[in-house]
Structure 1
């Protein structure tokens, strides 16, 4: 809750704090898992693709 984006979204869309925390947590989880999958896929090609 110490993120300015959190408060901006909460106040702009008039969402209560509980629902904003829920959305912020789910969004962070999805983005984290997505990055983990992308990095794992790219690591399989590190000997083939230059610059990885």
Structure 2
């Protein structure tokens, strides 16, 4: 029973340690993706708005 408790605590420690690392990488990836999305689609939105203002033939 005592050994099982030690294994449980070890696994719990590994999971919490891994999740803190995972959160850091996920936050970094999310920021990078958001920046990329803003560059890709933010410029397209502003371009499409400006083309709408120009009167057609």
| TM-score normalised by length of structure 1 | 0.56
In structure 1, stretches of 5+ residues that fail to align are: 1-10
**Deviation string for 1:7-40 (max 9, x for gaps)?**
xxxx8xxx71111110010111111111110010
Give the number of aligned pairs: 37
Runs of 4+ in 1 over 4 A off after TM superposition: none
Gaps of 5+ in 2: 42-57
TM-score by length of 2: 0.52
Q: Which has the higher contact order (CA 8 A, sep 6+)?
A: 1
Task: Judging by fraction of residues, say which structure has more helix.
Answer: 2
Q: What RMSD over aligned residues (CA atoms) do the two structures have, in Å?
A: 2.1
Larger-Rg structure: 2
